[in-house]
Amino acid sequence: MTETLSYTVPGMHCGHCKQAVSEEIRAVEGVESVNVDLDTKLVTVVGSGLDEAKLRAAIDEAGYEAA
């Protein structure tokens, strides 16, 4: 079953931020797509069997914190 999860990541402000967060999240099992909107600071993840703890850890690994 496909699900969508969204996270606000206030620390993102540039293309490098967007790329770092996207790469880390894409590495998480079950992730099908990632959309990062720098204007709204919103990260939207689509996939199946998503593990919220792993997604938050991926954002943390990229150097950011999900609000």
Dihedral pair phi/psi, residue 9, rounded to 5°: -125, 85
What is the pLDDT at residue 24?
Answer: 98
Instruction: From first to last of the 67 residues of the chain, give the pLDDT tens digit.
Output: 899 999 999 999 999 999 999 999 999 999 999 999 999 999 999 999 999 999 999 999 999 999 9
CA torsion, ordered 29, 54, 8, 46, to nearest 10 deg: 20
pTM of this prediction? 0.94
**Taking the alpha carbons of 25, 27, 28, 29 in that order, is the dihedral positive or negative?**
positive
Rounded to whole angstroms, the Cα distance separating 52 from 15 reads: 24
Residue 48 φ then ψ, to 5°: -130, 140
pLDDT at 56: 97
Strand order in the sheet with 2-8: 2-8, 42-48, 31-37
Give the residue extent of every domain in the chain. 2-61
- Give the class (CATH, top level) of 2-61: alpha beta
